[in-house]
């Protein structure tokens, strides 16, 4: 992700949003001890009105109208001021859901350690957010969480099922049973890459935005013919500070052939991997042809993202695969470079904040489809954590109904964004966050209240937090919108399954794959693919598949 502060005028806002997403994803956010009395939220705000249940799930004792007390373990940055007794968002949530939250604050860095200590001692919070991969599965099998299998259904929990589709619940099962509600904060974990092209170059050659692989290929040939100094398709072998995954630069090419490097597949309990799929061979041959014809940057296998950026900014690249959050910065830097060329750049060498302006130089597109009209786009795991109900809670059905009510559209707005008219406003049917309400030093509003937005979240957020795109400035919103609405997204079938060999051997297999695939793209004999497939299987791949199939059967209770 680009981090050039001058061209990210909205950087503080993005840091606020994304930082909170990270905290929420870690297990929670703010908070501590008991309830208190502080100024109540504005009575004029819908979010601060009297309790209103909008879900269908019913408490086990409908006559009980007293607030339900919930023990809540909160991950909090303890270096920042916070007093739950003066948190007006917490109070509004308590009113709306008819609950009393009893938060126990723990430093965000110690959350997992603290939670494990509490789980071991049996002092389990009423609602626990917990990592799925190891801790949740372990404690679920030990009987720490309520079995929700027969409690989650269209009649009683429609809001939950709108957020978490049945196939995701299937992935989240332990021994064939549902012990928690999958969670993924922020905009979810979908596909995050866009095909990025120079708009001015498209116009120069009289072309439309391509939708199919053939259209794209023909466009690149036209760019090369009419703009011989421009690289039709740029690429690089690693992101800044990161190891780049599997020839990411060619996601759209692989995807049009129905494959994506590294992902495992499953059908009827049988597993395989796209790396050894025969269609991968066809994709590599196509990329080899593109490379030979000069349509792909000759340096794609050796340059880093920093070097690609230099080419992008100077206008030497027509198209590339870009992470969604980089496009706004790229557009600004391209404009800066053009102004330098024309000697029209401001004396201080900077541009005003461009984040709320339409893209001037870039066009963003989704997946290219193959001859069959389909594609694949590799998305992240649909969830990483679970919200589980403790077997120690006095009324599990009522706790589930509270979670269900919290997932109504109105209540999600409250738990994620705060109080309308204070923390955010709706103008022309678009949400606008109030980023100046809280003093960053005191963490309080002008009335001395803390505002723990995203601190008491029940929302799984698998569909993305409500109106999330609206919380971003125009350019990042448009880029993320293209990525997350890619209808060809797929997830790795091995997500949340156990395979010791995968942990031990997958990096080695991936390294071998990346080396062989790169050699083939750059002109080596395609026979290397068949050799790779045999080595992949014999050097751990077959064992990984066997373990995944066994883990899948166990998860499904078979």
- Give the other-Cβ count within 10 Å of 240's Cβ: 12
Contact 430, 470 (CB under 8 A): yes
Residue 43 lies in a domain: no
Residue 391 to residue 385: CA distance in whole angstroms: 18
- Find all residues with CB under 8 Å of 331, minimum gap 6, and list them: 354, 359, 360, 361, 362, 475
How many domains does the chain contain in total? 2
pLDDT along the chain (558 residues), means of 10: 31 36 35 32 34 40 75 90 96 97 93 93 93 87 96 96 91 93 81 95 98 98 98 81 59 96 95 98 98 96 89 96 92 94 88 92 98 94 92 96 96 96 94 93 96 89 86 93 94 92 93 92 97 98 98 89
Residue 173 lies in a domain: yes
Last residue of a domain, one of 464, 479, 513: 464
> Do residues 360 and 243 both lie within one domain?
yes
- Residue whose token pair is 């049973």: 177
Residue 77: closest CA among 468, 455, 471, 457: 455
pLDDT of the residue at 186: 73
Residue 39 lies in a domain: no
pLDDT of the residue at 63: 43
> Do residues 340 and 261 both lie within one domain?
yes
pLDDT of the residue at 459: 80
- Find all residues with CB under 8 Å of 30, minimum gap 6, and list them: 74, 75, 76, 77, 82, 84, 87, 103, 105, 450, 452, 455
- pTM comes to 0.79
Residue 103 lies in a domain: yes
Q: Token pair for residue 64? A: 């009980």
Residue 153 to residue 167: CA distance in whole angstroms: 14
Residue 437 lies in a domain: yes
> Do residues 260 and 356 both lie within one domain?
yes
Last residue of a domain, one of 448, 464, 480: 464
> Do residues 404 and 369 both lie within one domain?
no
User: In b/e form, how buried is each residue of 517-550, taking b as 16+ CB within 10 angstroms?
Assistant: bbbbbeeeeeeebeebbeebbeebbebbbebbbe
> Do residues 499 and 515 both lie within one domain?
yes
> Do residues 368 and 295 both lie within one domain?
yes
> What contacts 24+ positions apart, CB below 8 Å, involve 108-115?
108/23, 108/26, 108/29, 108/75, 108/76, 108/77, 108/78, 111/26, 111/27, 111/28, 111/73, 111/75, 112/27, 114/73, 115/27, 115/73
φ and ψ at residue 100, rounded to 5 degrees: -125, 115
CA distances from 110 to 76, 124, 141, 271, 389 (A): 9, 16, 24, 37, 21
> In terms of residue numbers, what domain contains 171?
68-188+383-464
- Give the other-Cβ count within 10 Å of 260's Cβ: 27
Contact 556, 543 (CB under 8 A): no
> Do residues 393 and 362 both lie within one domain?
no
> Do residues 87 and 174 both lie within one domain?
yes
- Find all residues with CB under 8 Å of 524, minimum gap 6, and list them: none
> Do residues 292 and 439 both lie within one domain?
no
Residue 529 lies in a domain: yes
> Do residues 250 and 361 both lie within one domain?
yes
> Do residues 345 and 390 both lie within one domain?
no
Residue 172 to residue 136: CA distance in whole angstroms: 10
> Do residues 453 and 498 both lie within one domain?
no
* Domain at 89, CATH number: 3.40.190.10
Residue 111 to residue 104: CA distance in whole angstroms: 11
Q: Distance between terminal CA atoms of the chain?
A: 43
Residue 208 lies in a domain: yes
- Find all residues with CB under 8 Å of 424, minimum gap 6, and list them: 417, 418, 431, 432, 433, 434
pLDDT of the residue at 64: 60
Residue 363 lies in a domain: yes
Contact 257, 278 (CB under 8 A): no
- Give the other-Cβ count within 10 Å of 347's Cβ: 5
């Amino acid at each position: 992700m680009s981090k050039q502060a001058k061209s990210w005028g909205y950087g503080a806002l993005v840091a606020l949003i994304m930082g909170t997403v990270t905290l929420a994803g870690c297990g929670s956010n703010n908070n501590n001890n008991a309830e208190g009395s502080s100024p109540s939220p504005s009575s004029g705000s819908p979010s601060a009105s009297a309790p209103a249940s909008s879900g269908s799930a019913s408490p086990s004792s409908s006559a009980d109208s007293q607030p339900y007390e919930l023990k809540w373990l909160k991950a909090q940055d303890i270096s920042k001021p916070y007093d739950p007794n003066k948190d007006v968002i917490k109070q509004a949530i308590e009113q709306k859901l008819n609950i009393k939250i009893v938060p126990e604050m723990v430093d965000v860095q110690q959350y997992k350690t603290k939670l494990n200590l509490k789980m071991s001692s049996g002092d389990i919070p009423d609602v626990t957010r917990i990592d799925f991969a190891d801790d949740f599965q372990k404690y679920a099998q030990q009987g720490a969480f309520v079995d929700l299998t027969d409690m989650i259904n269209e009649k009683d929990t429609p809001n939950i099922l709108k957020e978490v589709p049945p196939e995701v619940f299937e992935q989240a099962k332990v021994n064939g049973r549902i012990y928690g509600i999958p969670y993924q904060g922020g905009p979810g974990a979908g596909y995050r890459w866009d095909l990025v092209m120079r708009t001015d170059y498209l116009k120069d050659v009289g072309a439309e935005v391509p939708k199919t692989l053939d259209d794209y290929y023909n466009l690149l040939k036209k760019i090369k013919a009419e703009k011989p100094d421009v690289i039709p398709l740029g690429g690089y072998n690693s992101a800044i500070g990161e190891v780049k995954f599997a020839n990411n630069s060619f996601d759209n090419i692989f995807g049009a052939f129905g494959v994506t490097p590294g992902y495992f597949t499953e059908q009827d309990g049988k597993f395989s991997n796209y790396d050894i799929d025969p269609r991968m061979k066809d994709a590599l041959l196509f990329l080899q042809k593109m490379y030979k014809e000069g349509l792909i940057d000759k340096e794609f296998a050796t340059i880093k993202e920093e070097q690609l950026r230099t080419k992008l900014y100077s206008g030497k690249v027509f198209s590339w695969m870009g992470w969604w959050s980089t496009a706004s910065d790229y557009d600004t830097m391209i404009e800066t470079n053009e102004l330098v060329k024309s000697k029209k750049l401001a004396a201080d060498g900077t541009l005003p904040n461009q984040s709320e302006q339409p893209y001037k130089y870039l066009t963003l597109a989704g997946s290219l489809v193959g001859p069959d009209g389909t594609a694949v786009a590799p998305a992240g795991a649909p969830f990483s954590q679970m919200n589980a109900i403790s077997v120690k809670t006095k009324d599990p059905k009522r706790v589930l109904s509270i979670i269900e009510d919290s997932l109504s559209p109105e209540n999600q707005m409250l738990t994620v964004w705060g109080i309308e008219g204070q923390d955010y406003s709706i103008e022309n049917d678009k949400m606008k966050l109030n980023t100046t309400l809280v003093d960053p030093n005191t963490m309080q509003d002008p009335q001395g209240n803390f505002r723990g937005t995203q601190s008491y979240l029940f929302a799984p957020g698998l569909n993305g937090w409500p109106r999330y795109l609206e919380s971003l400035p125009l350019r990042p919103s448009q880029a993320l919108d293209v990525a997350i609405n890619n209808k060809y997204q797929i997830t790795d079938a091995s997500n949340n399954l156990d395979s010791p060999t995968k942990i031990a051997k997958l990096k080695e297999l991936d390294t071998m794959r990346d080396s062989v695939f790169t050699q083939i793209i750059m002109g080596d004999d395609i026979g290397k693919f068949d050799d790779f497939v045999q080595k992949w299987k014999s050097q751990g791949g077959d064992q990984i598949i066997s373990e995944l199939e066994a883990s899948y059967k166990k998860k499904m209770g078979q």
